[in-house]
Amino acid sequence: MRGTAVTLGSLALVLSSLVWAPDSQARPREQGAVTCTGNSVSRYDPPLTLTPQPTRVHAEVRYDSCTAHAGHTFAATSTFESLRTAASCVSDSDALGVETVRYADGGRSVIAIESATTVRDMGVLFTLQSGRVTEGRGAGHQVRRTVAAPPRQLPTDCLTSGIGGSNSGVQLEILP
């Protein structure tokens, strides 16, 4: 009986501290930096060729490891949607878009990617993106996103059927 009373008393104390705590203490995971790493599977519509053309990009991202302040780790998934005005096998300009991240605990962040730089090094296409969280967890915080896409298809595919997609490594940072 004493154990039940102690448990209920502890539970009441925890609940009351959450109710009365300032917002920054009640939901610490919504404050500060978050860094996620994972993999992305992207599809290009139409496939990339040598001729720059408007291209819709849809990516499914699985973040196997996200770390928030105090070492709190969790998983997340996301979708990334983009309409590129002049994408081709040779260049991938204006890699802007919207990423919607869904965290394992039910929270989410909507991120607007507002600028991007693309560099090809030894066959790997690196895209460095920046933007901000527009809704949800981390709203108002700046974001850095790095995508590294190694070549999966032969360069000659650009001359024939085009490149229909890519698998990439992704790192997402929601800055404090």
Please list the rounded mean pLDDT of every run of 10 residues in the chain (176 residues): 32 31 37 88 92 93 90 93 86 82 93 90 86 95 93 73 90 95
23 and 35 both lie in a single domain: no
Q: How many angstroms separate the CA atoms of 158 and 153, rounded? A: 9
129 and 146 both lie in a single domain: yes
23 and 36 both lie in a single domain: no
If one counts the domains in the chain, the total is 2
| pLDDT score for 167 | 92
Q: How many angstroms separate the CA atoms of 4 and 7, rounded? A: 5
80 and 23 both lie in a single domain: no
16 and 48 both lie in a single domain: no
21 and 36 both lie in a single domain: no
For residue 91, the enclosing domain spans 31-174
| pLDDT score for 60 | 98
161 and 109 both lie in a single domain: yes
| pLDDT score for 148 | 92
Pick left, alpha or beta for residue 136 (phi over 0 → left; psi -120 to 50 → alpha; otherwise beta): left
20 and 39 both lie in a single domain: no
